[in-house]
Structure 1
Amino acid sequence: MLKIISCELLKLKRSKIIPISIAGVLSTPLLMLLEALQTHFDKPELVFTLSDVYNSSVLYTMLLTNMMVYVAIAAFLFSREYTESTLKTILPIPISRTKLLLGKSCALLLWIVTLNIVTWAGIFIVCGIYHAIFTMEGYSLLVAIEWFQKFLLGGILMFLTTSPFVFVAGKTKGFVSPMIGSAVIVMGSAALANKEWGAIYPWTATFFLVQGKIESTGYPTAVSVGIILLLSAVGFFMTYHHFKKEDLK
């Protein structure tokens, strides 16, 4: 299994998607820096802390920029065997299709969590630059570590909600449909970010869970978690069912 995961990660590296995805998620720290600078010059009397910056960044990380990057990675991992016509070479290898799918899923999880950590570290660094020039209240490694746990949780939750896009990528044997679907999902997430119904919309529920705001919507945490797990299970099961029936062509 470790060899399969390593192989999938090497495929990502050779395809140049690793540096591209890192650049994509670093747009969130950049946006946070620009927002901090704008606040400093437009409203110099307004005091904000490192925790405030991390809190604001969760919206971009969970619902907007990072989500689309993760769907792109998922679509690439699970459709490249079709787009590059390498499925004929892979399927005859004496490795079960189940292990192959598990290897791809583990590689996806590892890279999503890694990119969330990159986002977390990027925010700490750009805030450090801001702090060195203008001074930021509450800038400390201890605060960053508190948010590190939330970014880890966010990465795991976002991985779970990519399963429908994984299925679409395998079913359509391409990259376009999952990306169009992610754009629609992101629009829905943004619309429900301040609505109570967001707690039962899987992609927005992840945001509420990381923010600790589920209870304020009136829905139990168990309901949101259950919906996310159900979505994930259905998506991965459909992917597995489709791939098990795939024939050499």
Structure 2
Amino acid sequence: MFNLVKGEFLKLKRSSVFRISLLGSCIIPLLILMVLIKFALVDNVSTWDFAELFGQNITYLCIFFGLLLNMLIASYIFNREYKEHTIKAILTTQITKSEYFTSKIIVYIIWSLLLTLISLILVLLIGLVFHAPGLSAKLLAQSFMSVMLADFMLCLVSLLAVFITLLFKSIIPPIIIGMGISLGSMMILNDKFSIYYPTTSILYLFTSEKALIPTGFSPSITVAIVGSIAIISILLSWIYFKKTSVPL
């Protein structure tokens, strides 16, 4: 299994999509930077403190970009073998479908968490450049855990892209669905039903802005929603992948 995961990352080193995803991890810090520049040059007001910077990072991740980027990564990892016509050759070796499928999921999650870590580091650097107050080891540790756990839960929700990719053998449908879910996040945010929406529910679980959380929210709701989506997506993907013959 370790060799399979290692091989996947070696292939990613030569992939343009991996380099593009690294640029994608800069989108949230860039938005935060633009807001801070506006504060400094136009509004002439003080900058956010570090708690607000890290809070905005999680908000942008959950509502705008996290799920869409994760679905792109998941769909690319599974679709590239079909697009490059290499899956048949891979599965004719001693590699089983179980090992192949599991290694892809592991690489997908590691890739996503790596991008989130890069984004957090860039936000930290931006805060230091703008002399944002309130940085402490405790706040940094809490923010790190929150954003990484939030992204991990977004990874579980984004497993839906795996089944869609296997079904259509294309990355376009997962991207369209990811865009739709992200737009829905913006529309339903702060609504009483948003506690049942996967991305906003994840945001409420990790946000430090308690006023943002609607009445009736419970962490168990988030766990149940995310867990259900992940289990159903994995089962559908595995059953379909296991029973469908691999095309030439």
With normalisation by structure 2, the TM-score equals: 0.92
Provide the C-alpha distance between the structure 2 equivalents of 1:137 and 1:220, rounded to a whole number of angstroms: 31
The one of 145, 160, 163 aligned to 1:164: 160
Shift of 1:167: 0.7
Aligned equivalent of 2:73: 73
Q: How many residue pairs get matched?
A: 245
Letter in structure 2 aligned against 1:194: N
Provide the C-alpha distance between the structure 1 equivalents of 2:72 and 2:120, rounded to a whole number of angstroms: 20
Q: Deviations over 1:39-66 (max 9, x none)?
A: 2233334553011111112221122123
Partner-residue secondary structure (3-state), 1:137:
coil
Aligned equivalent of 1:84: 84
Indicate conservation of the 8 Å contact 1:30/1:126, yes or no: no
Q: Deviations over 1:195-232 (max 9, x none)?
A: 22121111221111121659743032212211110000
Shift of 1:193: 2.0
Provide the C-alpha distance between the structure 2 equivalents of 1:56 and 1:81, rounded to a whole number of angstroms: 36
Shift of 1:77: 0.5
Q: Does 1:220 align with 2:218?
A: yes
With normalisation by structure 1, the TM-score equals: 0.92
Provide the C-alpha distance between the structure 2 equivalents of 1:194 and 1:42, rounded to a whole number of angstroms: 29
The one of 185, 189, 192 aligned to 1:189: 185
Partner-residue secondary structure (3-state), 1:217:
coil
Aligned equivalent of 2:5: 5
Q: Deviations over 1:144-169 (max 9, x none)?
A: 33211111111211110111111101
Provide the C-alpha distance between the structure 2 equivalents of 1:146 and 1:202, rounded to a whole number of angstroms: 22
Letter in structure 2 aligned against 1:147: S
Aligned equivalent of 1:207: 203
Indicate conservation of the 8 Å contact 1:25/1:66, yes or no: no
Letter in structure 2 aligned against 1:6: K
Aligned equivalent of 1:236: 234
Q: Which sections of structure 1, spanning at least 5 residues, go unmatched?
A: none
Aligned equivalent of 1:113: 113
Indicate conservation of the 8 Å contact 2:28/2:119, yes or no: yes
Q: Aligned residues: percent identity?
A: 24
Partner-residue secondary structure (3-state), 1:95:
coil
Provide the C-alpha distance between the structure 1 equivalents of 2:54 and 2:139, rounded to a whole number of angstroms: 9
Indicate conservation of the 8 Å contact 2:66/2:151, yes or no: no
Provide the C-alpha distance between the structure 1 equivalents of 2:128 and 2:46, rounded to a whole number of angstroms: 18
Indicate conservation of the 8 Å contact 2:50/2:127, yes or no: yes
Aligned equivalent of 1:44: 44
Letter in structure 1 aligned against 2:69: V
The one of 133, 138, 145 aligned to 2:134: 138
Q: CA 1:206 to 1:31, structure 2 compared with 1: closer, same or farther past 3 Å?
A: same
* RMSD between aligned residues: 1.8
Indicate conservation of the 8 Å contact 1:26/1:122, yes or no: yes
Aligned equivalent of 1:246: 244
Provide the C-alpha distance between the structure 2 equivalents of 1:18 and 1:138, rounded to a whole number of angstroms: 34
Letter in structure 2 aligned against 1:247: S
Provide the C-alpha distance between the structure 1 equivalents of 2:164 and 2:232, rounded to a whole number of angstroms: 12
Indicate conservation of the 8 Å contact 1:25/1:65, yes or no: no
Aligned equivalent of 1:178: 174
**Counterparts of residues 21-32 of structure 1 (less than 5 Å):** 21-32=21-32
Shift of 1:179: 0.7
Indicate conservation of the 8 Å contact 1:33/1:130, yes or no: no
Q: Which sections of structure 2, spanning at least 5 residues, go unmatched?
A: none
Indicate conservation of the 8 Å contact 2:196/2:225, yes or no: yes
Provide the C-alpha distance between the structure 2 equivalents of 1:102 and 1:202, rounded to a whole number of angstroms: 24
